[in-house]
Amino acid sequence: MSHTEVKLKIPFGNKLLDAVCLVPNKSLTYGIILTHGASGDMNLPHLMSLASHLASHGFFCLRFTCKGLNIVHRIKAYKSVLSYLKTSGEYKLAGVFLGGRSMGSRAAASVMCHIEPDDADDFVRGLICISYPLHHPKQQHKLRDEDLFRIKDPVLFVSGAADEMCEKNLLEKVAQKMQAPNKIHWIDKANHSMAVKGRSTNDVFKEINTQILYWIQEITEMDKK
């Protein structure tokens, strides 16, 4: 399915955030928001690859850039993007999935657990965490898990089985304790940046993109029933 690329400037306080939307050439139903980790920007090859895969299957996809290591700042920026899409007259979406890579997924998780209880229109449908940074390298005793326990909507984790910031057994324990329905897809031998010795980057992207699309389709198909 073909799609159109649209560049946007999204109001954030007295600044503007750079964003790019891939808009499928069909009537819109669901959207996905994606953002990058501590470094880089929305043109991270992985985010571009994921966005075009999702858009080619009919999902509206918005990527945005918000630099800086201040997580509070990143969360506020993410909220601005979400409210922009929610109130957009141009893109009327039935719902969105919040997604991000590393620090971007932490920001998305925090936005998920601050959704007001009176926000009963179910606009936000789920959370996609790519390389969720559960702890600093070698600091497994300090987990960033409190937001995850407060989320109620479905969560997909895509993590490298050799991620130095997300030990496999620790994420599995957290997932078991979460109230949200969740699924973890482990990328064999991948590190935090999803590099796998002996596998091409595109091959790894393809595995990740397929899993994410499949999970989103499972949730959105349930709506049609």
How many Cα atoms sit within 13 Å of 34 on the Cβ side? 31
pLDDT at 118 over 90: no
Mean pLDDT of the chain: 95
Amino acid 117: pLDDT: 60
Q: Bigger pLDDT: 222 or 195?
A: 195
Q: What's the burial of 71, exposed, middle or buried (CB within 10 Å: 0-12/13-18/19+)?
A: middle
Output the pLDDT for position 225.
63
Q: How does pLDDT run across 172-201, given as a tens digit for each residue?
A: 999 999 999 999 999 999 999 999 999 999
* Mean pLDDT score, 4-14: 96
pLDDT score for 140:
94
In terms of DSSP bridges, do strands 60-64 and 15-24 run parallel, antiparallel, or are they unpaired? antiparallel
Position 223 confidence tier, pLDDT thresholds 50, 70, 90: confident
Contact at 8 Å (CB) between 171 and 134?
Answer: yes
- For residue 224, is pLDDT > 90? no
Model confidence at 151, in pLDDT bands (50, 70, 90)?
A: very high
> What tokens appear for 134 in the block?
């559960």
Q: Which two tokens stand for residue 221?
A: 């198909």
Q: Is residue 120's pLDDT more than 60?
A: no
Given a contact cutoff of 8 angstroms between Cβ atoms, the answer to whether 107 and 35 are in contact is: yes
Note the pLDDT of residue 115.
78
Strands of the 60-64 sheet, one edge to the other:
3-12, 15-24, 60-64, 30-35, 95-101, 124-130, 155-160, 182-187
Q: pLDDT tens, 58-90?
A: 999 999 999 989 999 999 999 999 999 999 999
The phi and psi torsions of 212 (rounded to 5 degrees) equal: -65, -45
CA distance 217 to 195: 26
User: Per-residue pLDDT tens for 86-116?
Assistant: 999 999 999 999 999 999 999 999 999 887 6
